[in-house]
Structure 1
Amino acid sequence: MKTVSETACFGGTQGVYSHASDATGTQMTFGLYMPPRPTGAVLWYLSGLTCTHENAMTKAGMQALAAKEGLALVFPDTSPRGEDVPDDDAFDMGQGAGFYVDATEGPWAEHFQMESYIAEDLPETVFAAFELDPDRQAVTGHSMGGHGALTLAMKYPRRFRSVSAFAPICNPSASDWGLPQLTAYTGGAGDHDATLLLEDRGLAAPLMIDTGTSDQFWDKLGTGAFLAALARTRTPAAVGLREGYDHSYFFVSSFAPAHVAFHAEHLG
């Protein structure tokens, strides 16, 4: 692991690091905020389409909140990158749009192994390099990252003590943000659809979701389908439909304090 930068932030350190990933076969970059008095607990933040590790790190406003609670924050990248990594002209496919799955199809299969990267490769790197507690992890994410947070929490039921999401893509098998991409990557979307996974596997971790009622991408998120699945499966969840809020980081930063407090409670 190489240190790209380390900067003082709310009494702690906001670092950016790179490492050679066995999962993706590429060099990967991630941000990690270490609070001034770490408790060992870790909150993973998975970003959305077109984002790098940097977007949430600089726009979500979570460091001050994490410093107060003693939480470390990890901001992974959203895909492998590089000249030899396949890409697509569409913003929602290829580099910057890994969808947190392991690709099995076509040119994507060699490098687009983002589920393994988030679930195995990056945690091994982080816990080897920093004094953090692998038994005290939580996960959150925005949009495509919300999809990743929900699906990973259901696929790895003992990994995370809590899960939350900001405007998650939660029914990708019925969305233009999911069906084309996941079909190209894996041959189909059903195995990576939070709504279908909830019906099939359930969710044991405490859950919080916030979505804006003025989200310009509402028709792509599948919020109604997921809420219906929560009701059918009688899964407890704190759900906020936030009047007037859109899909932007202004929305994320507005409700980040509630999400960090939610995870701090369950990671305590």
Structure 2
Amino acid sequence: MERIEHRACFDGWQDVYRHESASLNCSMNFSVFLPALASRKKLPVLYWLSGLTCTEQNFTTKAGAQQYASRHGVIIVAPDTSPRGQQVADDMGYDLGKGAGFYVNATQKPWAAHYRMYDYVVTELPELIESEFPASEARSISGHSMGGHGAIVVALRNPGRYRSVSAFSPIVAPAQVPWGKKAFEAYLGPDRTAWRQYDACDLVRSAAEKLPLLVDQGAADEFLETQLKPHLLKASCEAVGHPLTLRLYPGFDHSYYFITTFIGNHIAFHAKALHG
């Protein structure tokens, strides 16, 4: 593991590391914010999953989350959104291939050789963080758009592993929208039964743990009706009594202006669960 960035930020350090990933069979970057309190004791970790076209840098440089993480004594870890490197399969579009890992374990060629972001997020990265940094085993997870999809799916599929989960503008029903259909067809193949393990609306119906879901959505989001469809998650949760807080904000779109406005609320929400 190599530290490639080290910057003072609020009362802590914003770093970026590169390491060789066994899950993804390539070099990967992740960012980690360490509050000053981490020099004295182990702290809980909030994992952030970013959306299409992003790297570990987008949330790190745009969201302004460090001030709240410092205030609440929470480490923030943000991985890249896909495997990287010349040997990694790619597509000419923005919504498949590099920058669009969709947090699944691909089973189809040529993607299966590297695209195992689910394993990376759930197992490999936390093991690395908890062994190399002053991190406790208290974890929460959040994300935006494709990353919001990833956060909810990971939390639903791993009962007891996360203290809390939230999302901004998540793709809640990828099996029913263009972004998800394109990715799942490529990564998982045409058999739609294989898609269900990565679809929040399907997973919530049989979730073993009723971990409350917090979802914030901009009402002026240009992808609201075509790609995101939060009403489908609401219907699935209501059908089985799964706790969901779905907040719709007039005027806000899909951008980081939305995230930076409300990220403090999300970190406070996670901090309460992580320190409780």
Counterpart secondary structure, 2:221: coil
User: Cα offset for 1:252?
Assistant: 0.6
CA distance in 2 between partners of 1:202 and 1:26 (Å): 33
Structure 2 counterpart of 1:181: 183
Q: TM-score, normalised on structure 2?
A: 0.95
User: Cα offset for 1:237?
Assistant: 2.1
Counterpart secondary structure, 2:178: coil
Q: TM-score, normalised on structure 1?
A: 0.97
User: Cα offset for 1:202?
Assistant: 5.2
CA distance in 1 between partners of 2:116 and 2:253 (Å): 30
> Residue 195 of structure 1: which of 193, 201, 205 is its match?
201
Q: Is the 8 A contact 1:173 1:179 kept in 2?
A: yes
CA distance in 2 between partners of 1:202 and 1:231 (Å): 16
Structure 2 counterpart of 1:15: 15
User: Cα offset for 1:203?
Assistant: 4.4
Structure 2 counterpart of 1:97: 100
Distance change (3 Å), C-alpha of 1:119 and 1:167 = same
Larger deviation, residues 218-227 vs 49-58: 218-227
Structure 2 counterpart of 1:247: 254
Counterpart secondary structure, 1:14: strand
Deviation string 1:56-103 (CA, Å, 9 cap, x unpaired) is 000111000000000000010000011110000110000000000100
Identity of aligned residues (%): 42
Deviation string 1:95-143 (CA, Å, 9 cap, x unpaired) is 0000001000010000001001111111111111101111x10000000
Deviation string 1:14-45 (CA, Å, 9 cap, x unpaired) is 00001000000000000000011135110000
CA distance in 2 between partners of 1:190 and 1:41 (Å): 30
Structure 1 counterpart of 2:222: 216
> Residue 86 of structure 2: which of 83, 89, 94 is its match?
83
CA distance in 2 between partners of 1:200 and 1:92 (Å): 29
Counterpart secondary structure, 2:16: strand
Structure 2 counterpart of 1:30: 30
CA distance in 2 between partners of 1:202 and 1:263 (Å): 21
User: Cα offset for 1:204?
Assistant: 2.4
Gaps of 5+ in 2: none
Q: Is the 8 A contact 1:161 1:206 kept in 2?
A: no
CA distance in 2 between partners of 1:12 and 1:201 (Å): 37
Counterpart secondary structure, 1:109: helix
CA distance in 1 between partners of 2:99 and 2:257 (Å): 21
CA distance in 2 between partners of 1:119 and 1:102 (Å): 11
CA distance in 2 between partners of 1:66 and 1:7 (Å): 15
Gaps of 5+ in 1: none
User: Cα offset for 1:3?
Assistant: 0.6
Structure 2 counterpart of 1:63: 66
Q: Is the 8 A contact 2:160 2:209 kept in 1?
A: no
The one-letter code of the counterpart of 2:252 is: Y
